[in-house]
Structure 1
């Protein structure tokens, strides 16, 4: 397992937009995990250590994310920012081969692909983390994003790994299924 420097949790509760209250609050929970990049500064062909780390990190933080929500998880997203001494492939190794299975297991399913974003970034860089419905990739009311960052990450030899779960779509969505007529 890679070394974890920090885990930060963010809970966002949306209540109203432009003075109009939603039918209920929508909670978005985000976990940001700062890890050492074991491959920083050098090319490594076999990234399996990061692939396994992605699954381990998801299994570790998913329970915390679920406890943060007010209701069951209905949408999700994942992403990473790689510090300057790494390469973008390090983010994709963490995110794609195995991270999804523990997230889906924690929420009891998830037929749709987990939306993701990966980029290189300096300390304090922001990530626009895409969110989507866990079972219906075309649920327009769940097309969303949350912007996240940590002021001291990622350092050049680190990766900021981000996962999010939400208990609803956009608070007052008015397009697609479930929209008021």
Structure 2
């Protein structure tokens, strides 16, 4: 990424007090912000919200908040094993305690289970196809059996992602290897 930036810009800001790294937590936070997966997550967030005509916001990535957090002492960021310490304290008597003290992250999950149920026959059609069989990447019979088992039992766990990956690989192969013109129809 650095090579894409103007050298004069880098020189001007590299010694700025605001951006100096003073501890391991700040260093890790800075690395996550600048080089971590935030850019990818923001791209996914943007595409997903646009796909459903939702105007989404990420207020905690406002540059003023980010700069402010980097100036906070460590004990305001993490204290006694609690992350986001200052945020949690500021939400006292505003958020229910159950939420304020929740340690797990909860995101917006895709409705994978519903998509599988609604498209079960079409997905099986893909798995039973000659093109899928000829790939020789997977055991076609086992894939079909496991997929049916997953749908019949209805316990959609991490296996669900494996099936989506297999479907996407097959669709990708049809487009870019087989040059299938009919691929551009919805499931």
TM bracket, shorter-chain basis: under 0.3
TM-score (ref. length: structure 2)? 0.20
Larger Rg: 2
Q: Which has the higher helix share?
A: 2
Q: Which has the higher strand share?
A: 1
Q: Greater relative contact order: 1 or 2 (C-alpha under 8 angstroms, separation 6 or more)?
A: 1
